[in-house]
Amino acid sequence: MLPSITAKWRIRKYSCGAASLQEDDIATEYPLTVRLDGEEFATIVCSPTDLEEMIIGFLASEGVIRQAAEIESLRIDEERGFVYVELFNKHSTSKDEVSKRFIGSCCGKSRQFYFHNDARTARTSMSRMTISPAQCSALIRLLQNSSGEFKLTGGVHNAALCTATELLAVRTDIGRHNALDKLFGYSLQQRVAITDKIIAFSGRLSSEVVLKAAKIGVGILLSKSAPTDLALKLAEDLGITCVGFIRGHEMNVYTHGHRIVE
């Protein structure tokens, strides 16, 4: 049986110089080891929710599969923390390529920073999707209001697959990349058309987050937090609109601002 996404912990809380004993809600960490076609492939430390979606999204993100239908069987041993995946076409890519640096011949552009699996799976967005500043703010508000786990613990990331006006799916995890992999798995399982979709995200826009968005296939990435410089270089190169610091009626549009329209 899977543990809860949160756990109780006894703490001594100080407030205005006075101490009291209380119970606090803490985010749960759950190590899950992936065995792919009989061999150990990776161990993911995650929140124990939506694990099948996460594994499907992770394998797609790593370039192992392109569609959920390529998986012959997927079985999760919740007690031992193992997931057993068998593919119809047995996996042949070396595990080393998951983390081996790839140097491309792209005249100094940001794609020289890709790993081998990123070079295979990150796609340049051709999305014609547009969204207004007011809709950006509304989606971030909806995302913030959707997560009871974040309100309890402050220790998880939230990611949502959206249209311009609503959240289609919200996923939560202690790892920002895991939350995005869960969305990726959801979109593959449900066969969601991605080109007119948006990702709203609770955390920092790092290079890893931008690459995950590119692999999923969205053209617009929204966050209430800050980006990094490499994330923006990648977003510029991959055709992804990055909007950060969405707070109240303010926001910063960093890349491909033609998708943000009044």
pLDDT digits (tens, 9 = 90+) for 38-57: 999 999 999 999 999 999 99
pLDDT of residue 25: 85
Amino acid symbol at 211: L
Instruction: Please give the Cα distance from 121 to 114 (Å, whole number).
Output: 10
pLDDT of residue 97: 57
180: confidence class by pLDDT, cuts 50, 70, 90 = very high
pLDDT of residue 116: 65
pLDDT of residue 108: 41
Mean pLDDT of 1-25: 87
pLDDT digits (tens, 9 = 90+) for 48-100: 999 999 999 999 999 999 999 999 999 999 999 999 999 999 876 555 555 55
pLDDT of residue 69: 97
Lowest-pLDDT range of 58-62, 96-100, 151-155, 182-186: 96-100
Residue 229, token pair as written in the block: 């410089």
pLDDT of residue 241: 98
Active site residue 107: yes
Looking at the DSSP bridge assignments, the partners of residue 11 are: 22
Give me the percent of the chain exceeding a pLDDT of 70.
88
**How high does pLDDT run on average in the chain?**
89
Mean pLDDT of 129-134: 96
pLDDT at 103 over 70: no
Catalytic residue among 46, 107, 162, 242: 107
List, as one string, the DSSP characters of the chain. Answer: -PPPSEEEEEEEEEETTEEEEEEEEEE--EEEEEEETTEEEEEEEE-SSSHHHHHHHHHHHTTS-SSGGGEEEEEEETTTTEEEEEESS---S-GGGGT-B----STT-GGGG-BHHHHHH---------B-HHHHHHHHHHHHHH-HHHHHHS--EEEEEE-SS-EEEEEEESSHHHHHHHHHHHHHHTT---TT-EEEESS-B-HHHHHHHHHHT-SEEEESS-B-HHHHHHHHHHT-EEEEEEETTEEEE-S-GGGB--
